[in-house]
Amino acid sequence: MKCYLFYYFFLNNFKSLKKICFSNSGLAISGIQLGIFSNVFFIFKKTFFLFKNSIIVWKSLEKTISKEGCLSLKNKYYSKRCRFIYVFSHNFLNLKKIFLKDFYSICIQHEIDHCNCILLNQVQ
């Protein structure tokens, strides 16, 4: 139910959310950043993709270090994250198993952390 609230909110505020994201060099926003406490987030990549009830089912041992920013934080932080991941996630209709690498792997891990109330500055 909360997911639909997020979806409704997102569609009604799509232009302003997209502007907030892009003007801050962001590419994703999670429900929790908008006060909707649900495991749901959107990623913008030409169009937007919904991820709900996402869970990482496999992580590579290989890690990558990168400098990340967050719409909720002023500063950028270095993070060490898995280079490759498999995620189970629902989009609007289906459960999908998605393989992600490098940039999008980092992005999804960042957003899943948000869903678990973990901020970038708490990631080692």
Q: Site residues (CB under 5 A) for Zn ion?
A: 70
Least distance to Zn ion, CB of residue 70, Å? 3
Q: What are phi and psi of 36, to 5 degrees?
A: -110, 105
Beta carbon nearer to Zn ion, 5 or 119: 119
Q: Is the Cβ of residue 70 or residue 106 nearer to Zn ion in the bound state?
A: 70
Q: Residue 110 CB, nearest distance to Zn ion (Å)?
A: 6
- Least distance from Zn ion to the Cβ atom of residue 25, Å: 12
CB nearer Zn ion, residue 70 or residue 87: 70
Q: Which residue is nearest to Zn ion (CB)?
A: 70
